[in-house]
Amino acid sequence: MAEINITEQEEKKSLNFIEQRVKTDLAEGKNGSRLQTRFPPEPNGYLHIGHAKAIAMDFGVAQKFGGVCNLRMDDTNPQKEDTEYVEAIERDIKWLGFQWGKVCYASDYFQDLWDFAEWCILQGHAYVDEQSSEEIAAQKGTPTEPGTNSPFRERPAEESLKLFREMNSGNVEPGKMILRAKIDMANPNMHFRDPIMYRVLNMEHWRTGNKWNAYPMYDFTHGQSDYLEGVTHSICTLEFVEHRPLYDLFVNWMREWASDCGGKAESGSRLSNLYSQLSTYQGPRQFEFNKLNLNYTLMSKRNLLILTKEGVVNGWDDPRMPTICGIRRRGYSPQAILNFIDKIGYTTFDALNDIKLMEAACREDLNTRAIRVSAVVNPLKLVIDNYPEGLVEEMTAINNPELRDADGNTITENNTHIIHFTRELYIEQEDFMEDGGKKFMRLGPGKEVRLKNGYIIACSDEQDEHGNFKCIEKDIEGNIVCVHATYDPDSKSGMPGADRKIKGKTLHWVSCQHSIPCEVRNYECLWTCENPRDAIKQYEKENGVRGIDAMRPFLNPDSLTINRNALIEEFAKELPALSYLQFQRIGYYNVDPDSTSEHLIFNKTVGLKDTWQKGSK
RNA sequence: UGGGCUAUGGUGUAAUGGUAGCACAAGACAUUUUGGUCGUCUUAGUCCUGGUUCGAACCCGGGUAGCCCAACCA
């Protein structure tokens, strides 16, 4: 009996419609109150954020209601699949924090499926069709017109059986024969118009080698795999709603097969197990939820593959990719992804989600997770004229101010690091303006600001005989290259004099001597239009081009900007790859896996919320 | 007269015949050694139309709009 262990808090939060259904089924004792789900990726590409939603559902519901979720590789098409993807899929699921009961492969069931298919032939449920794919397509009809029967539809079962076995001999050319289910060529549901069960590929499979030359199709595999494994709730996305009646039909045939042949089957075999479970296991039921659509994002594996092949991005884990590995490299935590998925929920409405919601979930998560560091992205030299030359002071910087004790005070133990203060510093170019105006609360002539964890400093508003501010040094082109200020020695951070209220903001800075050059990679959306999938489709139609040529017009040329002039405090040198950071006052950043202590590389995950820039635009 | 599914503030989602709530976004205020975080407030919604009912976002009919289905892909 499955244990229903929902905490009180979770209970208060409403269950989504599938969870409600699961809860009801368990309470009513369906399938002996057993819960089993599966996550069934095809190992032909990398998992993306859309899969993460399915993963969160399949594994999440099992976790929540005391069931088990297996990972099943849906590997029925050896033309597209490869073992290299299996490892990546397993790694990504683990990284998201989920654990499967076991790893299964649809190819493990090829013999069962074959035996079942032979039974179907003998029952008159299936026949071998020898028409070309064009002829079959022509007979299929259209959604508005019924199809017509194949001339091979009524051939004797023995003949079909003989041909079916030939299909697997390697002597039949692909395309010459297929096995079809005999259902209804006039059915308004296209999937019922004698769907294809098996096709000849004459191709080696990466797991079963040369054993099979004919391979089963998805519709003749999925429900049966679920049934053979003992899945109770087979959860998938909305586009499979129309497949459900066929899914149910094949599962029902399989129950009949188990009932017919299971008693004679070898004990311990899957068929024999099905036979012994006939009264306690009714079989899997399929449930569908809406898949994840994100604006300014292209999700389909086919198109993501094109982006990697054409070099638009630097591989599947490029931080601009919506793949799990890409998002990981971008700097999202697993929890940030899961929180986002939790916020958008599961319904049957085809929603287009705003990427801003994902970024908000990311900020919320990283705010409590990221170590604050000082980095200056566009450096401007600042000399503190009255600060002793050669003096180096060690200042204390808090790693994470969100780390609080029970009273809400920031925890300082093991939550600080040292940052060096010197006479010559770098500040951000945009933190100094010669004529910033009254609302500009940062540095400028006659303005006073605080340097984070440092001192209060001020620029004089004295001018020379030409009307130039003495605190500003310019090059011949008039660019500000250096600014001068004086510090208030009593205002050192942590000292009583530091409590003084000032008008200006607090700026981040790094010491010229103690900062390290680093590369900062900033990312924006890959696409300039909200719905790239539709835009590309329409462009393909209107211009007669396909693939990358239809994508180019919608690619954002500024999706990656690299800044090699940035400087970061020494503390950041020690941080391991994928560390979650916040560049104080700028945004969240992540240590790139390619980063070395000789060449530091940081990826921008997402910017901080910035009400100042918005207001000034 | 193909079939299936769907429709709640700008976006996403809750309310399962009985007070339309939440999050994000937007705007305002306050606080601040991050123009961040936290806090307070404001704006804004049941696609249209009939019916059933004491009572409808929810049930029923009719519209309208969107998505999915004609791979030897999954």
CB–CB of A50/A299 below 8 Å? yes
Residue A179: beta bridge partners?
Answer: A128, A198
Q: How many residues does the structure list for chain A? A: 617
Average pLDDT over residues A282-305: 96
Instruction: Write the DSSP assignment of A42-54 as a string of letters.
Output: -SSS--BHHHHHH
Residue A396 CA and nucleotide B8 C1' are separated, in Å, by 51
pLDDT at A39: 98
Average pLDDT over residues A512-516: 98
Nearest in space to A447 (alpha carbons), one of A427, A476, A465: A427
Nearest protein residue by Cα to C1' of nucleotide B11: A354
Nearest in space to A527 (alpha carbons), one of A317, A332, A361, A321: A321
Say if residue A81's pLDDT is above 90: no
**Among residues of chain A, what percentage have pLDDT more than 70?**
97
Q: Is A543 helix (H, G, I), strand (E, B) or coil?
A: helix
Nearest in space to A370 (alpha carbons), one of A591, A211, A126, A65: A591
Using the CA of A142, give the nucleotide whose C1' is nearest: B70
Residue A154 CA and nucleotide B69 C1' are separated, in Å, by 27
Q: How would residue A612 be classed by pLDDT, with cut points 50, 70 and 90?
A: confident
Average pLDDT over residues A545-570: 95
How far is the CA of A187 from the CAs of A131, A192, A389, A507, in angstroms?
A: 21, 6, 88, 70
Residue A14 CA and nucleotide B14 C1' are separated, in Å, by 8
Provide the positions of strand B that have an atom within 7 A of a protein CB: 2-8, 10-16, 23-28, 33-38, 66-74
Residue A581: beta bridge partners?
Answer: A371, A589
Nearest protein residue by Cα to C1' of nucleotide B24: A357
CB–CB of A282/A31 below 8 Å? yes
Q: How would residue A6 be classed by pLDDT, with cut points 50, 70 and 90?
A: very low
Say if residue A2's pLDDT is above 90: no
Using the CA of A239, give the nucleotide whose C1' is nearest: B68
Q: Percent helix, strand, coil in chain A (nearest 5)?
A: 35, 25, 40
Q: How far apart are CA A265 and CA A112, in angstroms?
A: 11
**Mean of pLDDT over chain A:** 95
pLDDT at A13: 64
> Parallel, antiparallel, or unpaired for β A456-458 and A196-200?
unpaired
Element (H, E) at A564: strand A560-569
pLDDT tens, residue by residue, A473-487? 999 999 999 999 999
pLDDT tens, residue by residue, A11-54? 456 899 999 999 999 999 999 999 999 999 999 999 999 999 99
Report the 10 Å Cβ neighbour count for A565: 12
Residue A16 CA and nucleotide B46 C1' are separated, in Å, by 20
Q: How would residue A404 be classed by pLDDT, with cut points 50, 70 and 90?
A: confident
Using the CA of A244, give the nucleotide whose C1' is nearest: B4
Nearest in space to A537 (alpha carbons), one of A547, A526, A527, A525: A547
Q: How would residue A4 be classed by pLDDT, with cut points 50, 70 and 90?
A: very low
Nearest protein residue by Cα to C1' of nucleotide B35: A612
Chain Cα centroid distance, residue A500: 47
Q: How far apart are CA A214 and CA A117, in angstroms?
A: 12
Average pLDDT over residues A207-230: 98
Q: How would residue A82 be classed by pLDDT, with cut points 50, 70 and 90?
A: confident
Using the CA of A494, give the nucleotide whose C1' is nearest: B33
Q: How would residue A144 be classed by pLDDT, with cut points 50, 70 and 90?
A: very high
Q: How would residue A614 be classed by pLDDT, with cut points 50, 70 and 90?
A: low
Q: How far apart are CA A145 and CA A138, in angstroms?
A: 11
Using the CA of A236, give the nucleotide whose C1' is nearest: B74
**Among residues of chain A, what percentage have pLDDT more than 90?**
92
Average pLDDT over residues A85-92: 97
Residue ranges of domains in chain A, CATH in brackets: 8-289 (3.40.50.620), 301-371+518-616 (2.40.240.10), 379-515 (2.40.240.10)
Residue A181: beta bridge partners?
Answer: A126
Question: Which residue bears the tokens 């969160």?
Answer: A56
Say if residue A102's pLDDT is above 90: yes
pLDDT at A617: 39
CB–CB of A363/A608 below 8 Å? yes
Residue A62 CA and nucleotide B37 C1' are separated, in Å, by 35
CB–CB of A530/A451 below 8 Å? no
Residues with Cβ < 8 Å from A77, sequence gap 6 or more? A42, A44, A215
Report the 10 Å Cβ neighbour count for A138: 12
Q: How far apart are CA A45 and CA A299, in angstroms?
A: 12
pLDDT at A560: 97
Residue A556 CA and nucleotide B72 C1' are separated, in Å, by 38
pLDDT tens, residue by residue, A323-365? 999 999 999 999 999 999 999 999 999 999 999 999 999 999 9
Average pLDDT over residues A516-528: 97
CB–CB of A417/A571 below 8 Å? yes
Residue A362 CA and nucleotide B40 C1' are separated, in Å, by 25
* Cα-based angle A107, A112, A113 (whole degrees, multiple of 5): 75
pLDDT at A154: 97
CB–CB of A497/A580 below 8 Å? no
Torsion of CA A47, A52, A57, A58, to 10 degrees: 30
pTM: 0.95
Average pLDDT over residues A274-298: 97
pLDDT at A164: 98
Q: Is A491 helix (H, G, I), strand (E, B) or coil?
A: helix
DSSP class of residue A481?
E
Question: Which residue bears the tokens 């898949």?
Answer: A291
pLDDT tens, residue by residue, A407-454? 788 899 999 999 999 999 999 999 999 999 989 999 999 999 999 999
Q: How would residue A405 be classed by pLDDT, with cut points 50, 70 and 90?
A: confident
Q: How would residue A261 be classed by pLDDT, with cut points 50, 70 and 90?
A: very high
What is the 3 state secondary structure string of A286-350?
EEEECCCCECCCCCCHHHHHHHHHCCCCCCCCCCCCCEHHHHHHHCCCHHHHHHHHHHHCCCCCC
Average pLDDT over residues A515-538: 95
